[in-house]
Structure 1
Amino acid sequence: MSDPTPPPARDPVRVGIDVGGTFTDAVAVSATTYALLGQVKVPTSHDHADGVAHGIMTALERLLDDIGVSADDVGFLAHGTTQATNALLEGDVATIGIVGVGTGFDALANRRLRSLGKLRLDSGRALPVRYAALRAPESTEAALASVDAVLAEGAEVVVAVQPFSVDDPAGERSVLEAAGARGVPATATHEITRLYGLGKRARTAALNAGVMPRMLQTADLVERSIQRAGVRAPLMVMRCDGGVMSLPEMRHRPLLTVLSGPAAGVAGALMGEKVSEGVFLETGGTSTDISVIRRGRVQIRHTQLGGRETYLSALDVRTVGVGGGSLVRISGTAPGAASLTGVGPRSAHIAGLPYACFADPEELRGARLALVSPLDSDPADHAVLEAGGRRFALTVTCAANAAGLVPEGDHARSEAATARLALEPLAQALGTDAVTAARRVLHTATERVTEVVDALVDDYRLDRDVCSLVGGGGGAATVTPYLGERTGMAARIAAHSEVISPLGVALALVRETVERIIPDATHADVLTVRTEAERAVLDQGADPAAVEVDVTVDPRRNLVTAVATGATALRAKDRAATTDEAAARAAAAASLDARPGDLTEFAANGQYRVLGLVRRPGGRLGRFARPRTHVRVVDAEGVVRLHSADAEVDTLVAGQAEGALRDLVAERTVYGDGGAVPPAVWLLLGPKLADLSGVMDPGHLLALAGTEIARRGPEEPVVVLMERRR
């Protein structure tokens, strides 16, 4: 007789796959604990008949086999790819057929779109553009004729462009229908952005079209492969703003995958490391990508492609040409007479040399210092060791190991004694010892990195008291620890830093950004934009209970922006869980540089604790200044999610909160030459943290707050934080 007791449910698995230029990395993460269950690395399959899809499936199959789970256990699968980025970098894009819709002045404006063919990609190749005009979009025959005209000139994908299509896209839709009838992929400017500016809108749509055919082919291959493998979870794709999107959405806007590599890394830091305020540095062998997390949010801006600004909202990432493999450069080799002139941007990889610190010590006995040119066009000032007929590169990794800054077990770790032996010839040339020489190399290597970090801290007004440096990538330990010493900022290396990108893919949230130009926007206009962003992530599988929407209203540009992020149902943890009070106090106290017992708990709602203390500003006049309430919001996992140096905290009841909130906003609004300036407002509503700090109009602020509060039960607590604007 069979046992009627069903087997225990297996812990579902989240899989993240990052397709790089050389390797494809895959990780499996527990959906409930987020613990790393396994990781694999396979060569990226550029030359296979199925392209990179073959490498993705190879990695997935090997990963599931290694951790002993079946395809049925995969509840979430996402991948990030450099394919679109590489296509733009290398100029390997499809020929684009632009169909300009309109008559009169619109037709004149459209004719200037031919100049998009002069846009130079990073490879130096011009964007391949063909053009046709459509003056009667209401005519099916005319629309088909315009599409046929660009196809006859070799176009592989069609772009519909019409002035003011953000208001009325009917003309662009007629082109899309005609392209569909001809069986060719197509896109339209109104599908890419709803912002005005014909040139920038068309440029963004054209670049989107250029990568579309290849991305569609890959998407189809990957989708069929995972279906054959028995994975029933919907396939998600990494975006350039740190979130993921559904495969159907990617098919419409493949350009959103451009620059998603750095975005995957910062998503790993945000979700895996629980960074609230910090600078993330992803260091590889050649370069370091630097980005910002502020108040638990990645920072986004419109990016440039081909040297021109687009409407592509991507992670604000600054790249510095220093990585773990960067070569040391000196003025000469005579003992005591040389000086350190630079580090990088050339790397050991370009020079085709192994790192000296990973050599067998016996191979380095009697090594002498020599200067080489990694490439024929480079100056002969790059330091290498010559020993036994071989050459070894002196790199930043060698210096970090010699200085004892690479922790045991790290991907970049070598024996410190070997690294110091490798640096001895360099130290003799510099007239010092190996450890001092190593630290000089690190100081020179981090010169530009420090400048960029300082600029980002200032640009985004990060709070240095709580800001930390988090290192990721295989070379994290070669830059981040020394940078922390140099800047005085807290620094740490992310767990599993060598696979931080696929971890970010596995843990990323569904994300969507909606932007609208709305002169004199009404409350209804702002709420409509918010609802559109929320609906977009819900349509892609986000759990309604876990969606957060941040709205910003810029009255100077008449720009309303809503950014919605949502967890899939599988990503959402048990929201009833709460962190231990002692742990929450410890986290807040560490952030405030105070003793846990000195903190006051201002509010709590079961998912968050609001802790802080009152301080007067320092300095001679501090005793005459107004005391400020420093606040930290700690979530159920013990992470500081929000901080303020000058906040007021109130707990309201949802059923009466709207009226009370209106009174509080009015009471705390200040008036000056620029008019009324309301406080920055955040609401804690169950598990959600509603960020309304980007809204300056009191009416818009209250309308948005009312939308959030209306979804709560009448007796639920609503915790309100208000911060004075500086």
Structure 2
Amino acid sequence: MTSHFLLGIDTGGTYTDAVLFHETHGVVAKAKSLTTRHDLAIGIAGAVDAVILEAGVEVSAISLVSLSTTLATNALVEGQGGRAGLVMIGFGPDDLKRSGLADALGSDPVIYLNGGHDVHGNENPLDLAALDEVLPELARGVSSFAVAGYFAVRNPAHEIRVRDRIREISHLPVTCSHELSSKLGGPRRALTTLLNARLVSMIDRLVGACENFLVARGISAPMMVVRGDGALISASEAKLRPIETILSGPAASLVGAHYLTGLDAAVVSDIGGTTTDVAVMEAGRPRLDAEGAVVGGFRTMVEAVAMRTYGLGGDSEVRVNERGLVATFELGPRRLLPLSLAAQAHSDAILTVLQRQVRSPHLGRNDGRFAIRTGVPDYLASGLLPQEQALFEKIGTAPVALDQLLTSTPQKATLDRLVARGLVHLCGLTPSDAMHALGRQNQWNAEAARLGLVLACRIKDGSARPVATTVEELAEKIVDRLTRQSAEVILSACLAEDGLGDLDPAKSKAIDRALQRPPGIVRFAVSLDRPLVGLGASAPVYYPAIAQMLGSESVVPPDADVANAVGAVVGQVRTSATVFITTPEEGVFILNGAGETLRFIDEAKGFEAARARARSVALDQARLNGAADPVVSMVEQVDAADIEGTRKLVEARFIATASGRPRIATD
């Protein structure tokens, strides 16, 4: 084979995947390496070096690198991310109550400034005094800033002034709301901006690690990142707008699923270590969520695939509810570092403690649990409370047993806050451990998995009986729970697509009977009208049973384990620009969006200027994002009222979309 090779990389919560792809021969080589959160370049190097070696190609033959990731999605699902300062211009405290902004903000600081604009872009005077007063001290307690101004999508001048002032004083990353969305709805735009600010350092580290690795290996090819809608953007743009990479991995998996299966209609479910992502594919394309992606319970303004993400995966926390007469199991939403995986890298530290706990005659509250630092840079630990800092200092780069770490009940809540900040991993029992104990997975340390299950078998239900009598019995119960919970989340996503989102499969007795199929006079059944495509490294292990429970055909394509990385290299660059025309008074037409405000007294001339600006900005952005020969399509939405027989323009929107394949390196 000659010509160009494309390198696809997917960095997930557990594994980093790499594929070497040829546009006529498909997947030439593939490999996996454990994601190393303390230094992402290690995991990237492990996977990429392996595919290059397997394919036997020169690095000079690689003409494009494309990256997808679930790190941003996982961070939001698990409530992680850096501490961000939110600056609200022209808003008040009551606005925090809208769109879930107060819940998203949590304990992060917020500053209110007088200013902002009206719907036509006219300003209210901006007062920076409140910002100047607190900025020097505040900058020492956050890792980034988010700025949201009233009607900033019509006139971003105040956001830009505040951004420049913060950068001048703090030298920290700043995200402005107008850079992320052209839609109205200030609080939700502020929410999106806040989440973006929290993700900046994470995605910056990921892209930087990949760029550094490519330089070290002599790979001089353009680098792209998959957006949440499946389109590609340049790496430099992804670092500025990391929120656009939420659902990057799932979007890439859908693009990859269509390529790998050729199916135009399917339910696609991708199981990873942290999450299960479900989407419905029609006519070979996933539907985009017009309202904005929902991740971690928050509705953002990020245009993304209509994907539903659930905190359920192979590394989900196993929670036992022993209060009832018969113990029940629940999985997730929190990800744990599986005992089998932790022991792979720290065999003595894990096995010695588990063996000690097994020898003890009584089960301790924290048996089978460990804590270990994630290894993120020290500056991301800024703003810790004294008790958090004290506990954090006791946790190192080797696992420490919780029965030795925690000496008082309040420390458990302190540890949970360190986990939520992304500073500490909890290690414990997961479905991956159950699979290792059953011999259905074998990549990690099965002995640690067995010991963890031995400890869990000691848990007793409300009638004082052990939850399981053997390791195998408990492992099967955990795997059965993953099968059932997976079926429920897939059904939940499909019912929502059918307009039946109020029906909860986890609570419906009818659906419970349909899934369990107990004997009875009345038979309940449930099925899907299309195949279930299972993706992910563990898909061949889990999805045949899930599809059988759902009465559906199971399709697990040959390269299902690297579908995200495949999707990363077969996508297109796609950008859009929106320009508005409004009429503040009779015969006056104001052009806003994607540049400076202009005033016209002729509607036709205003419309033509709006079209030209939207087209030009979309093309420029597509080229900036790495498109080789982008083409433009235009959508015009004109809202006008008929008042006493006279047409009155309310608002006109001109949306230009430019798309094309990414540029590749040439000889």
Do 1:240 and 1:257's aligned partners in 2 also have CA atoms closer than 8 Å?
Answer: yes
Q: Deviations over 1:401-431 (max 9, x none)?
A: xxxxxxxxxxxxxxxxxxxxxxxxxxxxxxx
Note if 1:152 corresponds to 2:137: yes
Question: Which shifted more, 189-198 or 127-136?
Answer: 127-136
Note if 1:21 corresponds to 2:6: no
Do 1:14 and 1:30's aligned partners in 2 also have CA atoms closer than 8 Å?
Answer: yes
What amino acid is aligned across from residue 536 of structure 1 in structure 2?
A: Q
Specify the alignment match of 1:501 in structure 2.
Answer: 564
Do 1:94 and 1:157's aligned partners in 2 also have CA atoms closer than 8 Å?
Answer: yes
Q: Distance in 2 between matches of 1:233 and 1:286?
A: 31
Q: Distance in 2 between matches of 1:444 and 1:89?
A: 17
Do 1:384 and 1:393's aligned partners in 2 also have CA atoms closer than 8 Å?
Answer: no
Specify the alignment match of 1:175 in structure 2.
Answer: 162
What amino acid is aligned across from residue 294 of structure 1 in structure 2?
A: E
Q: Distance in 1 between matches of 2:553 and 2:535?
A: 15
What amino acid is aligned across from residue 430 of structure 2 in structure 1?
A: H
1:678-693 equivalences in 2 (<5 Å): none
Alpha-carbon shift at residue 89 of structure 1 (Å): 4.4
Note if 1:267 corresponds to 2:255: yes
Note if 1:452 corresponds to 2:533: no
Specify the alignment match of 1:353 in structure 2.
Answer: 434
The 3 A distance-change label for structure 1 pair 378 and 560 is: farther
CA radius of gyration, larger in: 1
Note if 1:293 corresponds to 2:374: no
Alpha-carbon shift at residue 249 of structure 1 (Å): 0.9
What amino acid is aligned across from residue 386 of structure 1 in structure 2?
A: T
SS in 1 for 2:565: helix
Alpha-carbon shift at residue 81 of structure 1 (Å): 2.7
Do 1:327 and 1:394's aligned partners in 2 also have CA atoms closer than 8 Å?
Answer: no
Do 2:279 and 2:306's aligned partners in 1 also have CA atoms closer than 8 Å?
Answer: yes
TM-score (norm 1): 0.56
What amino acid is aligned across from residue 241 of structure 1 in structure 2?
A: D
1:561-640 equivalences in 2 (<5 Å): 564-570=658-664
Do 1:278 and 1:467's aligned partners in 2 also have CA atoms closer than 8 Å?
Answer: yes
Do 2:116 and 2:152's aligned partners in 1 also have CA atoms closer than 8 Å?
Answer: no
What amino acid is aligned across from residue 163 of structure 1 in structure 2?
A: Y
Match of 2:628 among 535, 543, 557: 543
Alpha-carbon shift at residue 63 of structure 1 (Å): 2.5
Answer 1 or 2: higher relative contact order, Cα 8 Å, separation at least 6: 2
What amino acid is aligned across from residue 150 of structure 2 in structure 1?
A: P
The 3 A distance-change label for structure 1 pair 526 and 23 is: same
Note if 1:36 corresponds to 2:44: no
Specify the alignment match of 2:400 in structure 1.
Answer: none
Q: Deviations over 1:174-216 (max 9, x none)?
A: 2233334343321211111111222111221122112223433
SS in 1 for 2:13: coil
Alpha-carbon shift at residue 544 of structure 1 (Å): 1.9
Specify the alignment match of 1:309 in structure 2.
Answer: 299
What amino acid is aligned across from residue 236 of structure 2 in structure 1?
A: P
SS in 1 for 2:146: strand
SS in 2 for 1:84: helix
Alpha-carbon shift at residue 253 of structure 1 (Å): 0.6
Q: Distance in 2 between matches of 1:228 and 1:513?
A: 34
Note if 1:131 corresponds to 2:111: yes
Do 2:637 and 2:653's aligned partners in 1 also have CA atoms closer than 8 Å?
Answer: yes
Q: Deviations over 1:117-157 (max 9, x none)?
A: 97345xxx82512426366999xx97699357323223442
Specify the alignment match of 1:470 in structure 2.
Answer: 533
Q: Distance in 2 between matches of 1:298 and 1:562?
A: 21
Match of 2:476 among 394, 400, 413: 394
Alpha-carbon shift at residue 307 of structure 1 (Å): 3.8
SS in 2 for 1:15: strand
Alpha-carbon shift at residue 375 of structure 1 (Å): 10
Q: Distance in 1 between matches of 2:331 and 2:658?
A: 40
Alpha-carbon shift at residue 472 of structure 1 (Å): 1.2
Q: Distance in 1 between matches of 2:632 and 2:615?
A: 10
Match of 1:64 among 41, 52, 56: 52
Q: Distance in 2 between matches of 1:77 and 1:27?
A: 10
Alpha-carbon shift at residue 280 of structure 1 (Å): 0.9
Q: Deviations over 1:607-645 (max 9, x none)?
A: xxxxxxxxxxxxxxxxxxxxxxxxxxxxxxxxxxxxxxx
Do 2:19 and 2:28's aligned partners in 1 also have CA atoms closer than 8 Å?
Answer: yes
The 3 A distance-change label for structure 1 pair 277 and 234 is: same
Q: Distance in 1 between matches of 2:528 and 2:263?
A: 14
Percentage identity across paired residues of the two chains: 25
Do 2:13 and 2:273's aligned partners in 1 also have CA atoms closer than 8 Å?
Answer: no
Q: Distance in 2 between matches of 1:228 and 1:80?
A: 21
Q: Distance in 2 between matches of 1:563 and 1:484?
A: 38
Match of 2:574 among 489, 508, 511: 511
Specify the alignment match of 1:588 in structure 2.
Answer: none
Q: Distance in 2 between matches of 1:319 and 1:570?
A: 32
Q: Distance in 2 between matches of 1:465 and 1:95?
A: 42
Q: Distance in 1 between matches of 2:168 and 2:327?
A: 64
Q: Distance in 1 between matches of 2:638 and 2:535?
A: 34
Do 1:13 and 1:31's aligned partners in 2 also have CA atoms closer than 8 Å?
Answer: yes
Do 1:160 and 1:187's aligned partners in 2 also have CA atoms closer than 8 Å?
Answer: yes
Q: Distance in 2 between matches of 1:250 and 1:115?
A: 30
Do 2:318 and 2:332's aligned partners in 1 also have CA atoms closer than 8 Å?
Answer: no
Alpha-carbon shift at residue 233 of structure 1 (Å): 0.9
Specify the alignment match of 1:646 in structure 2.
Answer: none
Count of residues in Structure 1 that have an aligned counterpart in Structure 2 = 491
Q: Deviations over 1:656-709 (max 9, x none)?
A: xxxxxxxxxxxxxxxxxxxxxxxxxxxxxxxxxxxxxxxxxxxxxxxxxxxxxx
SS in 1 for 2:430: helix
Alpha-carbon shift at residue 57 of structure 1 (Å): 3.0
Do 1:328 and 1:394's aligned partners in 2 also have CA atoms closer than 8 Å?
Answer: no
Q: Distance in 1 between matches of 2:19 and 2:239?
A: 24
What amino acid is aligned across from residue 494 of structure 2 in structure 1?
A: V
TM-score (norm 2): 0.61
Match of 2:241 among 243, 253, 265: 253
Q: Distance in 2 between matches of 1:216 and 1:327?
A: 28
The 3 A distance-change label for structure 1 pair 127 and 534 is: farther
The 3 A distance-change label for structure 1 pair 480 and 359 is: closer
Question: Which shifted more, 209-218 or 246-255?
Answer: 209-218
The 3 A distance-change label for structure 1 pair 255 and 448 is: closer
The 3 A distance-change label for structure 1 pair 45 and 191 is: same
1:404-419 equivalences in 2 (<5 Å): none
The 3 A distance-change label for structure 1 pair 535 and 482 is: farther
Do 1:120 and 1:127's aligned partners in 2 also have CA atoms closer than 8 Å?
Answer: no
Specify the alignment match of 1:94 in structure 2.
Answer: 82
The 3 A distance-change label for structure 1 pair 384 and 293 is: same
Aligned CA-pair RMSD: 5.0
Do 2:73 and 2:247's aligned partners in 1 also have CA atoms closer than 8 Å?
Answer: yes
Q: Distance in 2 between matches of 1:112 and 1:176?
A: 23
Q: Deviations over 1:218-266 (max 9, x none)?
A: 4334323322321111221222222221112112211112232322221
1:510-529 equivalences in 2 (<5 Å): 510-514=573-577, 524=608, 525=610, 529=614
Q: Distance in 2 between matches of 1:285 and 1:306?
A: 16
Q: Distance in 1 between matches of 2:574 and 2:465?
A: 47
Question: Which shifted more, 519-528 or 491-500?
Answer: 519-528
Residue ranges of structure 2 left out of the alignment (5+ in a row): 118-122, 339-428, 447-452, 502-526, 584-602, 641-650
Alpha-carbon shift at residue 454 of structure 1 (Å): 4.5
